[in-house]
Structure 1
Amino acid sequence: MLLILMMLHIIPEALIKDGAGFILAFLPLFFIPATVGVMNFPELLSFQGLLLLVAVIISTILTIILSGKLCQYIEENEIRKESI
């Protein structure tokens, strides 16, 4: 919602700049619990963890490729509709 309001220039950047900078300073603290959680499950650092990591990487790459192809398909259809 904030992004939309900023894109429509309803909320100027100056109003949230200081607050956003303050919050970004603490952003790394949100990743510490996830790292500690991994330490509680050493099997994630073993062969099973490696398989899980490979599966996540492959699925991410496939998602990026399929999303790109879908966007190209939709854009081509929109261009065809405009030219007709």
Structure 2
Amino acid sequence: MKLFQIMVQIAVLYGFFLTGKWIQMVLGLMIPGSIIGMILFFIILLLGLFPTRWFENGSELMLSHMPFMFLPVTVGIVNYFSLFQGKGLLLVVVVLVSTMIVIASSAYIGQLMVEGKERQQ
């Protein structure tokens, strides 16, 4: 039963992805369809039309396998090695700075969320 539940949850998430791709194609938007699908899914969760518990198992499964989804992108960079040749130090600096920005912004948003929950209680 749990396997079927996970399959349905992933199918619904995939439906949001396809809907976003369709909206992008019909309207000719420059925003990727996957982003549009995520925004639609977020809005539906925000409005409370679907409870988040309906998607817990499927999303946990997908998140546990997320690192494997980055492998094709990483391997694809090898085709453009000449683009990065001779810019190793610059690349390291960009990666470090962007990582620090992500860590700082995540910490700030997490702190805001904790403070918001404390105010609600």
Report deviation, 1:31. 3.4
Amino acid paired to 2:84: P
Identity over aligned pairs, percent: 10
Deviations 1:27-84 (A, max 9, x none): 4334322x225513225742211210121121021012101111111101111xxxxx
1:63 aligns with 2:100: no
Q: Does 1:47 align with 2:81?
A: no
- By relative contact order (CA 8 Å, sep 6+), the higher-ranking structure is 2
Number of aligned positions between the proteins: 67
RMSD of equivalent CA atoms? 3.7
Q: Which amino acid aligns with 1:51?
A: V
Aligned to 2:9: none
User: TM-score if structure 1 supplies the norm length?
Assistant: 0.52
Tell me how far apart the structure 2 counterparts of residues 60 and 54 of structure 1 sit (CA, whole Å).
10
Counterparts of 1:1-84 in structure 2, within 5 Å, are: 2=13, 7-8=53-54, 27=69, 28-33=71-76, 35-36=77-78, 39-42=81-84, 45-79=87-121
Unaligned runs of 5+ in 2: 1-11, 14-40, 42-49
Larger Rg: 1
Q: TM-score, normalised by structure 2?
A: 0.39
